[in-house]
A and B are shown apart, each in its own frame.
Chain A
Amino acid sequence: MTSDAEIVRRVRDGDTAAFAVLVARYRDRLGRYAVHMLGDRGDAEEALQDAFVRAYRSLARCREDGQFGPWLFGILVNRCRTAGRRAARRHRMFVRDEVSLERASAPETSDRAEWDDTVRWAMERLAPPLREAFLLKHVEDMEYEEMSRLTGTGVSALKMRVMRAREQLRALLTEVERV
């Protein structure tokens, strides 16, 4: 597989079409974060498109070619913040991810769908900064230092956010269990 660094160099040298390889490579990986962060597949795709286009236009600012992935992720995090604020203004509710539900295997469809909805419901109730920190730490598996570079937030503040997110999720889902 051609490395990110090699593709970035080709794009910088004028091979625009090579950028499509990076888009295909990172589409689903970054899409997962956008879908969970924004809770809406349409908003997530829009944010993801914007992130890729912005990355292309400012590729000269990606100082280390081998660090394209983390650099792109940082752009997406910012796009999701902007999209999240816009969505909040529209008062949009989280919606069911129809595509994921369709792909769930038949025997567990009802349980899976119910659990999907429960997780989405709980994630929606987290404040965006808590949701962002929780996803980066526990879903994207990042170190706090990396999260700090990416979000511009201090490590101790991020640790606090993750802890609060964990507490709130635990409380919310335990409450669901009792109902």
Chain B
Amino acid sequence: MFDREEDVLDRVIDQLRRPVEMDPTLDAAVMSRVAAGEDRLGRLAAVWDWVSRPRDIAVSPLAGLGLAAVLVGIVVWLAGRSPQIAAPAAGPSTVQFVVVAPGAASVSLVGDFNDWDGGATPMQATRNGALWSVTVPLTPGRYRYAFLVNGSRWLADPAAPRVQDDFDAPSSVVTVGG
């Protein structure tokens, strides 16, 4: 099979250097994860920026005394109250869906939650039109969904578990916790 031992290594290296093509849908999966992370981080950063921003407040000595008296009054009033813990409200959670669809004219979110109606939940393009996103309120449960590109092309979410629907079209699953 080989003339010389060194030929063996040369052939191994040639074989390993051959181009390898990865699944192009990997790009969309990466960008979905990037966008989802950025959205969370962006909101946190905005809140933190607002809370931590230093401010100059001018208060006259008299107003300062009045403010201190009001604060003391609030503390005394709170201390005298019996503790009340509000029960957590069982309502819908807000879920953001993101997909990369560069060049698309329109993208809609369709799923169990909107009866697979292509006109019910249009997605908005961000910046250069490559990223599309929409936020929907969902009550706890398991939902199947997909993206409808240009009103006709069916696209499963590359960043979510995939299932086949009754018509062999790919769709994805999202589970919203209670």
Contacts and interface: CB of A to CB of B under 8 A. Distances in A.
Interface of A: 15-20, 23-24, 27-28, 31-32, 35-36, 44-45, 48-49, 52-53, 56-57, 97, 99-100, 103, 115-116, 119, 122-123, 135, 138-139, 166, 169-170, 173-174, 176-177
Contacts of B15: 115-116, 119
A122 B127 CA distance: 48
15 contacts: A16-B126, A17-B31, A17-B131, A19-B31, A23-B31, A28-B19, A31-B20, A44-B22, A45-B23, A100-B20, A169-B9, A170-B5, A174-B2, A174-B8, A177-B2
Contact of B29 (A17, A49, A138, A170): A49
B13 A138 contact: yes
> Could you tell me the dominant secondary structure of chain A's interface residues?
helix
A49 B126 CA distance: 22
Contact of A23 (B2, B30, B35, B38): B30
A23 B6 CA distance: 36
Contacts of A35: 20, 22
Contacts of B35: 16
Contact-residue bracket for chain B? 35 or more
A28 B30 contact: no
Interface of B: 1-2, 5-6, 8-9, 11-13, 15-24, 26-27, 29-31, 33-35, 37-38, 100, 102, 126-128, 130-131
A15 B127 contact: yes
A74 B99 CA distance: 28
Nearest to B130: A17
Contacts of A135: 16
Contacts of B16: 32, 36, 119, 123, 135, 138-139
A100 to B, nearest CB: 7
Contacts of B21: 28, 31, 99, 103
A23 B32 CA distance: 12
Contacts of B22: 27-28, 31, 35, 44-45, 48
